[in-house]
Structure 1
Amino acid sequence: MREIAGRLAAWHDAGTGYALATVISVGGSAPRGPGAAMAVSETGEAVGSVSGGCVEGAVYELCREALQTGKAIRESFGYSDDDAFAVGLTCGGTIEVFVQPGPVPEHALTAISRDDQVAVAHLMDEQGATFVVWPDRHAGSSGLADVDQVVVGEARAMLDGGATGIRSVRCRAGLDVFVRSYAPAPRLLVFGAIDYAAAVARMGAFLGYRVTVCDARPVFATPARFPDGDEIVVDWPHRYLNEQAEQGQIDGRTVICVLTHDAKFDVPLLDIALRLPVAYVGAMGSRRTHDDRLRRLREAGLSDVELARLHSPIGLDLGARTPEETALAIAAEFVALRRGGSAVPLRQTDGPIHRDTTTAAGVA
């Protein structure tokens, strides 16, 4: 919707009614992915695209219908070659489209236009209530407190991971919500080009992170050794992290894993990392290495509060031995921290399994 947000805002300002069609799921060789959008105004003007042309005419008519009835519509389109004039995708894929009468809330359009980290969630029933969810607050309501709680929690979790898609509203059987995240994937910075780093990078990619592997040694930091890394950087770790922070590339979702267990790399790197407002900082090494590392970091001027943010030895106690098992233990720790999990077996806990770690105030 980002590419048409400006036009929707203009319609909103002019008092022009419109309906919005959004691709909510795709299969096969669909031309556009989830989140692609097209809008049709009450005057007949159309902006955006949901299929690159294959089913635009049919979706246009669905928008006109939604404008007339005031009700949302959910429709699927697939491949058809029985009739040259049939509505279908010539590429052989399938798309599912959700059409709802506007307007999109003005604060949603404003947030999208200025590249805020925000998620827009649409309940997929006839009313099609819209929620706008930021990391620390939300706007919109279905009128049902339990539904609102689930929708906002799901949307915030998806925003945190930069995900877009359909989720079930757990407290209402048969009710789905479509969430479109306007945020880059969270970053996983892996320092130290060792075999454990390759497994951590693979786990990070699986979890939806944008993975960077950094090491000062060019012979080890290569794309061939780290095929799951989005970026392979040859640089001194502390210098690279400092540059990324200065460029605004580090945020509260960033996970930092220090796997070098070499003081000449670790200490200057952790001296920077532990002062940054990131989600997680973990460092590999034995307990003796950890004690020596803490001594060196105190000598470098870090406070006890800053040192308390260091997860070292890194990972949860899973009895891990292989690089893959170790990567699982590390990922389990930073997922638990970011999601507010206790890291104990669920059978030993009570209360909700899924939780929202941010206590956010709703915005009317």
Structure 2
Amino acid sequence: MTTSPLFYQQLGELLAQEPVVVATIVQVVGSAPRELGAKMAVYGDGEILGTIGGGAGEAKVIEQALIVLKKRKEEEEEVKEEEKKENEDLLAENRFKNQPRNQPRNQPRNQLIEIDLTGAAHQETQGVCGGKVQVWLELWSGERAIALIKKILEAFEAGQSGMLVTPLMRDYPSYLVNRQRPNRRALLTANPGFEHQDLEHHGSEHHGSEHFTEILQLPPVLLIVGGGHIAVALAQSAHFAGFGIAVQDDRPNFVTPERFPQAGLLSCSISETLTHFAAHSQLYVALVTRGYPQDIEALTTLLQHPIDYQYVGAIGSQKRIRMVRQAMQRRGISLERLANFHAPIGLDIGALTPEEIAISICAELIKVRRGGTGRSLYQRMHTSHVSFKVHAGEQRYAAHVPR
């Protein structure tokens, strides 16, 4: 799980105003509502940014986070009272004391919380997902946290891949590491006391180790070729699903900020558009053009470009798609390059309207991104009940679907 740049941007805005407790799922055993690495920020009187799954389990985390924030506030008030008394003593007795200033007396109360979702009657959370999750609470506050957010956002802006390392110990804050060049000396300099940690093995899950690592990389981008009604609906759906949006159409009046407020890039040229994603490893392309001549020109440019696309698909009837494939072969596009061409695009959900078609396409994008099957969850669950029959020395099996 990679947390989106938007989350860190909003987290930075919160940190400029007040301390925040960041909750991160650091271990998942069995089934859970959210994935490993999911984050939620708790602030104020229980307001949240993001989610780690909702329900009673999330409520338990919010409750504990509020305790951390309350204790932090009490410590800060104690420090202020001590400073006030110290200043009064200095004025009265003209002497200095070696008490630390402007810092809470105690370290932030980072801690690990386990949420049981097995549905056992004695469990406080009464979850029914069937698994268990561990959530790490870390207090983010002050200039150091704001500086970390700034570094994270700068890495995203520069297209750099980094690692956010969260030490699972009470006294150490999270820090950022360059993924390509993790420098041990720099880590030890920035985080004295880490000599006893195994920093050479950055895992995605802690399994009892002393740190949790999140890979920071840019979110996937969906390039929508064509700016018609389906494109408008698809941009909305894909943006909601976490994709960055770029739109290309050779008609300037179709690629405007008014039509595509979610788009980070609007262009009239595919070649120009692709130059922005030459080094992007998570590029998805959906062709929803006004006709197969536009499909042919666009697809030729796309497939002749050396980008390793995660997904390329096109809308259209079987006849239209067949004509496009034949044209690609005549232009010398290899069958290997066409092998992963998704056409007609989308999952078969009976979609008719532009909005429904957009959801169908977006569902397939998510399936490819997450490695899903596209099957109904109901069917998947009920066809998993398999019984074996032995007849005349043969072993046979039959799937039983409850009526």
TM-score by length of 2: 0.49
In structure 1, how many angstroms separate the alpha carbons of the residues matched to 2:152 and 2:266? 32
The correspondence for 2:355, drawn from 324, 345, 348, is 324
Matched, 1:117 2:147: no
What is the aligned residue count?
248
- How many Å apart are 1:269 and its aligned residue? 2.2
Matched, 1:244 2:308: no
Letter in 1 for 2:164: V
Task: Please name the residue that 2:399 is paired with.
Answer: none
The correspondence for 1:139, drawn from 187, 196, 203, is 203
The answer (yes or no) to whether the contact 1:241–1:269 under 8 Å persists in 2 is: no
In structure 1, how many angstroms separate the alpha carbons of the residues matched to 2:207 and 2:240? 36
**1:81-230 correspondence to structure 2 within 5 Å:** 98-99=138-139, 116-120=160-164, 122=166, 138-139=202-203, 142-144=206-208, 155=214, 182-230=216-264
The answer (yes or no) to whether the contact 1:241–1:272 under 8 Å persists in 2 is: no
Task: Please name the residue that 1:25 is paired with.
Answer: 41
Letter in 2 for 1:213: V
The answer (yes or no) to whether the contact 2:233–2:358 under 8 Å persists in 1 is: yes
Task: Please name the residue that 1:83 is paired with.
Answer: none
In structure 2, how many angstroms separate the alpha carbons of the residues matched to 1:71 and 1:63? 20
In structure 1, how many angstroms separate the alpha carbons of the residues matched to 2:339 and 2:355? 27
Q: Describe the superposition over 1:65-105 as per-residue Cα deviations: whole angstroms up to 9, x where unpaired.
A: 565999789xxxxxxxxxxxxxxxxxxxxxxx8249xxxxx
In structure 2, how many angstroms separate the alpha carbons of the residues matched to 1:72 and 1:334? 35
Task: Please name the residue that 2:298 is paired with.
Answer: 269
Q: SS where residue 164 of structure 2 aligns?
A: strand
In structure 2, how many angstroms separate the alpha carbons of the residues matched to 1:240 and 1:319? 35
Letter in 2 for 1:344: R
In structure 2, how many angstroms separate the alpha carbons of the residues matched to 1:271 and 1:55? 64
Task: Please name the residue that 1:354 is paired with.
Answer: none
The correspondence for 1:335, drawn from 366, 369, 372, is 366
Using the TM superposition, name which of 255-264 and 296-305 deviates more. Answer: 255-264
In structure 2, how many angstroms separate the alpha carbons of the residues matched to 1:133 and 1:329? 38
Distance verdict in 2 for CA 1:329–1:22, change over 3 Å? closer
Task: Please name the residue that 2:326 is paired with.
Answer: 295
Q: Describe the superposition over 1:171-196 as per-residue Cα deviations: whole angstroms up to 9, x where unpaired.
A: xxxxxxxxxxx433321111101000
Distance verdict in 2 for CA 1:143–1:311, change over 3 Å? closer
Distance verdict in 2 for CA 1:296–1:133, change over 3 Å? farther
Task: Please name the residue that 1:11 is paired with.
Answer: none
The answer (yes or no) to whether the contact 2:75–2:105 under 8 Å persists in 1 is: no
Distance verdict in 2 for CA 1:67–1:332, change over 3 Å? same
- How many Å apart are 1:214 and its aligned residue? 1.3
The answer (yes or no) to whether the contact 2:138–2:173 under 8 Å persists in 1 is: no
Structure 2: gaps spanning 5 or more residues: 1-19, 24-39, 51-68, 81-101, 114-136, 141-150, 181-200, 382-403
In structure 2, how many angstroms separate the alpha carbons of the residues matched to 1:285 and 1:336? 20
Structure index of larger Rg: 2
The answer (yes or no) to whether the contact 2:292–2:324 under 8 Å persists in 1 is: yes
TM-score by length of 1: 0.53
Matched, 1:257 2:279: no
Structure 1: gaps spanning 5 or more residues: 1-19, 35-49, 74-96, 101-109, 160-181, 351-364
Distance verdict in 2 for CA 1:296–1:121, change over 3 Å? same
**Aligned Cα root-mean-square deviation (Å):** 4.9
In structure 1, how many angstroms separate the alpha carbons of the residues matched to 2:326 and 2:351? 27
- How many Å apart are 1:243 and its aligned residue? 2.4
Give aligned-pair identity as a percent.
25
The answer (yes or no) to whether the contact 2:224–2:288 under 8 Å persists in 1 is: yes
